[in-house]
Amino acid sequence: MSENRLVATCLLGLEGLVADELRRMDIKNVEPQNGRVLFSGNQSEIARANICSRYSERILIEMGSFRALSFTELFDNVKKLPWEQWIGKDDAFPVTGRTLNSKLSSIPDCQSIIKKAIVERLKTKYRISWFEESASSVKVKFLIMKDVASIMIDTSGVGLHKRGYRENAASAPIKETLAAAMADLSHIRPFSRVIDPFCGSGTILIESALKALNIAPGLRRRFIAEKWSCADQNAWRTERERAQDLIDRSAEFQAYGYDIDPQAIELTNESAKKAGVAARIHTEVRSIADFSSDLPKAAIICNPPYGERLLDIQQAQDIYRTMGEKFLKREGYSYCIISPDDKFEEIFGRPADKRRKLYNGMIKCQVYMYFKR
């Protein structure tokens, strides 16, 4: 099968990380855009990106992109696309999507027109007039923005941040893809030591361990494209074997998680076990007021509780003040802290050496990095 234009969607601010990791996977024609990264590939690259991407939210096949000012234009252009490459005659193909600032503003009407166009195309290709849609599901997605329609197929199914290890979670957990990004920004390596003094469900610790050991985040889950009638099972098997072979079992990585809530510590241990990194993660019930470390080097990475999530603003700022007292400038130590509070640096007690704007769900945050002595 010829190469396709593929799309990795991501949280705003992570486009560069996604582009870099795709290039490291030997994927070609990588092109970062706003909230997504385009690249080229066939089913092997689809499998590789789904299994191995730490920072992407979803991998899509871009079937086509075109201007659509009328339902006739939408229908005609969708019908031209090679749907038979991906949709079998028994496959279900639900259509979902959204429109923004476009003449075609009715989502139900757009869904109906796109569905009808795909049916008409497949009628001609399969020489049948009725589709049972009783087999695997090939999910068609559309985005019509400023009158330009992008028509895509979802290959991931459940979002890629769902690694499979976090069935239960503490209150307001950080998204796995964002935790992985913080580990990357902290330059976590196979020999690193990581501390999270607000470990919650253990997401930052686990994502740091997966990165340090080079464990692909999607190794323990399945993807919707694997179930398609056209799926190349050999490609998926080969990519899983490739990811398995790349695991660095000699890595010396260790992580330490503290939390004032005993239930959070239990959740961390449970999730670490499911992720296969329990031997690398050590936990203890401990308040930030009692924070200390005798490690010669460590990266402190954390998502402290804040007013919009768990506490009132005053309580959150009291925690920031305590962090500033405990997170001292030390040789071999770095601090990576995410917060939506614009006054964080003032309350923490010193300006960050570097800042990066990211989103934790729908909340705009800054990642504050301290590493200078």
* Shared domain check, 343 and 206: yes
Q: Flag whether pLDDT at 45 surpasses 80.
A: yes
Residue among 184, 79, 88, 161 nearest 128 (CA): 88
In this prediction, residue 140 carries a pLDDT of 98
pTM for this predicted structure: 0.93
* Shared domain check, 181 and 150: no
- Residue-wise pLDDT tens digits, 329-363: 999 999 999 999 999 999 999 999 999 999 877 78
* Shared domain check, 143 and 203: no
Residue among 178, 175, 212 nearest 193 (CA): 212
In this prediction, residue 20 carries a pLDDT of 98
Domain of 336 in residue numbering reads as 176-214+248-370
> What are the CA-CA distances from residue 301 to residues 174, 255, 275, 369 (Å)?
12, 10, 19, 9
How many domains does the chain divide into?
2
* Shared domain check, 98 and 185: no
Q: Note whether residue 113 is domain-resident.
A: yes
* Shared domain check, 276 and 307: yes
* Shared domain check, 150 and 180: no
Q: Note whether residue 220 is domain-resident.
A: no
Write the CATH number for 183.
3.40.50.150
* Shared domain check, 187 and 112: no
In this prediction, residue 166 carries a pLDDT of 86
* Shared domain check, 201 and 78: no
Q: Flag whether pLDDT at 1 surpasses 60.
A: no
Q: In the numeric block, which tokens belong to residue 86?
A: 């991906």
In this prediction, residue 170 carries a pLDDT of 58
* Shared domain check, 313 and 264: yes
Answer yes or no: are the C-beta atoms of 233 and 226 closer than 8 Å: yes
Answer yes or no: are the C-beta atoms of 263 and 171 closer than 8 Å: no
- Residue-wise pLDDT tens digits, 87-120: 999 999 999 999 999 999 999 999 999 999 999 9
Q: Note whether residue 201 is domain-resident.
A: yes
- Residue-wise pLDDT tens digits, 258-298: 999 999 999 999 999 999 999 999 999 999 999 999 999 99
Q: Note whether residue 237 is domain-resident.
A: no
Residue 305 banded pLDDT, cuts 50, 70, 90: confident
In this prediction, residue 311 carries a pLDDT of 57
- Average of per-residue pLDDT across 179-196: 98
* Shared domain check, 203 and 133: no
* Shared domain check, 189 and 140: no
Q: Note whether residue 167 is domain-resident.
A: no
Cβ–Cβ contacts within 10 Å for residue 100, how many?
Answer: 10
Give residue for tokens 């993660």. Answer: 281
Q: Flag whether pLDDT at 306 surpasses 90.
A: no
Q: Note whether residue 310 is domain-resident.
A: yes
Answer yes or no: are the C-beta atoms of 370 and 353 closer than 8 Å: yes
- Average of per-residue pLDDT across 229-251: 97
> What is the chain's length?
373
Distance CA 81, CA 77 (A): 7
Q: Note whether residue 228 is domain-resident.
A: no
Q: Note whether residue 112 is domain-resident.
A: yes
Write the CATH number for 36.
3.30.2130.30
* Shared domain check, 267 and 320: yes
Q: In the numeric block, which tokens belong to residue 285?
A: 């019930």
Answer yes or no: are the C-beta atoms of 21 and 181 closer than 8 Å: no
- Residue-wise pLDDT tens digits, 124-149: 999 998 998 898 899 999 999 999 99
